[in-house]
Each structure stands twice: as C-alpha cells, then as structure tokens.
Amino acid sequence: MSGFDSNPFADPVDVNPFQDASVAEATSGAENVGEYNPFSSPDMGSISGTTIPMTAATATQPAILQTSVEQSPKAAVTAAQENLVRQQEELERKAAELERKEQELQSRSSGRVLSPGEKENNWPPLPRFSPIKPCFYQDFEEEIPEEYRRISRRMYYLWMFHSATLFLNVLACLALFTTNANRGVDFGLSILWFILFTPAAFVCWYRPIYKAFRSDSSFSFFFFFFVFFFQVAVYIIQSVGIPTWGNSGWITSISVIGTNLAVAVIMMVVAGFFTVNAILGVILLKMVHSKYRRTGASFTKAQREFSQGVLTNQTIQSTAASAASTAAQGAFGNNQGN
C-alpha cells in the first residue's frame, strides 16, 4: 500500500539548487558587502575634481557664424527709390487707363468716337442732358504756356465783359423804347448786335488769340490783329452812341435827360461800359503786340502757315478735287461735241 501513498508528480530526487557548494560560497561573500550610497558625505569628500560654474559653461558655448550678407545703407536707399519709381509708373499707367476709359464712356454717351489725339469739347459748359453739345475745347492750364496764360485769361474776361455790355445795351434800349415808341429801331438793332456780336467776337478774335498763344501761330496773330482793330473801332462807335444805331452811347443818353432822367441814367451806365470796353481793348491790343514781338512771328511765317493749312485741309482738298473733276468733264464733253 505504500506505493499508492507516494506523489506521482514529485521529482524522484528532491534537489535544492541553493545548497550547491559554489552557490553557497558566493552568497556568503555577498553578505559582507554593505549598501553603497553614492551621495554619502564620505564618498563626496573623496572627489578631488573642481566644479564648473553655469556662467562659464554657457560662455564656452560654440560661436555661431553670423552671415555677412547685410545691405549697406546706400543699397537700401537705391532699392527703396527703385520701388517708388515702379509704384509711380504703375499709378500713372492706371491713371491713364482710367482717363482713357472715361473718354470712351463720354464718347459713347455722346454718340461720337474720339480719335487717339482728340479731346472732348468742354466749352460752353453745358449740362449732359442738353441737346446742344460743347463746340470748343479750352483749358488754360494745359494748353497755354505759363508766360501767356495771364494775357489769355484777360482776353477771355474781356469777351465776357463785352457780352455783358451788349446784354445791358438791350435792356437800356428796351427802357428807351418803353418811354418813346419812336425808338423801336434802337431796340431791334440792340437785339441784333447782341445775337450777332457775342458769338462773332468769340470766334473771330478770342479764339484766334487763344490758338496763337497755344501753338505760337503767326497766322492766328495776324488774323487777331486784323479783326480786333475793327472791334476796338466798334467799341468807340458804341460808346459815342449815334442815334438810331442801336447803341446806348453818350450822345443818345444825354439826349434823353430832358425827357426821362431814369432812362438817361441807365443809358449812361451802358455808355460807360462801352467806354471801358474801348479802353481795355486798346490796352490789351498793345499787350498782345508786345507778346507777339517776343515770339519771333513774322508775316512770311504767317503766309507759310496759311499755305500749309490750305494744302493740308481735307475739306479744301475735296472741294478743289471735285471742282477740277467737274471742269475736266465739262471740257471733255465740249471736245466731243465739237
């Protein structure tokens, strides 16, 4: 029965590995070695090395090589100037583009396409909805040189004063006609002079002097002198005031003093305006002549400009060509008839 009491899973030989002689000798030697503390004071005192401060450690860090590609002040200023020039050119290009688009819009709204060098007329300054469009382009700052700009403006102001005087002359003649029914001729002629001489003065002597100062044209100078001399003579005649000539001059106004003092005073004011026109006309004529002598213009140059203008004018060329063609056809028809 003893065979059944034994453990079948037990090793036949129960051997303790720690009872081995070599293992026992090793464990007996390890018992004599105490715990080692590396931070104990005796061990720390045995270290003979010197500590390195933190500042010294950081001071001995390896140096960093700095790049020497730094722009000099002169190069920086040059680069800034080039940048400004590029920006200015870009702004000018955009401004020119906007102006071109604006002109295109204006030309489309007016129903007319402008040529590359043509400018939109701006005088007289009429509203956009007006059926009558401006007929001329006028800009003293852009077209007239600075040395002629003041005299050009004065001529323009003289034309405005001339127009205002003619309008006041109509009112004075109307006042005379209301007091004396026999002076209806003066009233009718005053209206005619206002309607006729206001645009005629602008076209015949103001625009020529404007063109003369704008392009230094000898022909325009001579045309102005020829027309404006007669304009000054007309101012003198209007200031005199010959009866039944449609002018409220001194003679007519004085003759009305006995009949109606109020009308006489009104006509005397207009006579004074005509006198001021005559005086300003003489002064400005002399000023324009002095400017003309400095420009180097001459009668020969005026003749050359006139001939060149006639030869290059498209209307005159077409008219001459049609006249020559008609004459040639007529001559050819006569030869066939003979």
pLDDT digits (tens, 9 = 90+) for 261-317: 999 999 999 999 999 999 999 999 999 998 888 776 655 666 666 566 544 545 545
What is the model's pLDDT at position 20? 58
Q: How many domains does the chain have?
A: 1
Model-wide pTM > 0.75: no
Higher pLDDT, 92 or 118: 92
Q: Is residue 60 part of a domain?
A: no
Q: Percent of the chain having pLDDT more than 70? A: 61
Lowest-pLDDT range, 96-110, 177-191, 237-251? Answer: 96-110
What is the model's pLDDT at position 58? 47
Question: How far, in Å, CA of 204 to CA of 223, rounded?
Answer: 8
Q: Is residue 224 part of a domain?
A: yes
Q: Is residue 2 part of a domain?
A: no
Q: Percent of the chain having pLDDT more than 90? A: 38
For the segment 170-225, what is each residue's pLDDT rounded down to a tens digit?
A: 999 999 999 988 999 999 999 999 999 999 999 999 999 999 999 888 888 989 99
Lowest-pLDDT range, 76-85, 213-222, 245-254, 259-268? Answer: 76-85
Q: Would you tell me the crossing angle of helices 261-295 and 218-240 to the nearest 10 degrees?
A: 160
C-beta contacts of 150-156 below 8 A and 24+ residues apart: 151/213, 151/284, 151/287, 151/288, 151/291, 152/209, 152/210, 152/213, 154/284, 154/287, 155/206, 155/209, 155/210, 155/284, 155/288, 156/206, 156/210
Higher pLDDT, 198 or 7: 198
Q: Is residue 247 part of a domain?
A: yes
Which residues form the domain of 220?
145-310
Q: Is residue 204 part of a domain?
A: yes
What is the model's pLDDT at position 85? 86
Q: Is residue 188 part of a domain?
A: yes
Average pLDDT of span 86-106: 77
First to last CA, the chain: 179
Higher pLDDT, 305 or 36: 305
For the segment 141-162, what is each residue's pLDDT rounded down to a tens digit?
A: 989 999 999 999 999 999 999 9
Higher pLDDT, 137 or 323: 137
What is the model's pLDDT at position 69? 47
Average of per-residue pLDDT values in the chain: 77
What is the model's pLDDT at position 197? 95
Q: Is residue 39 part of a domain?
A: no
Q: Is residue 216 part of a domain?
A: yes
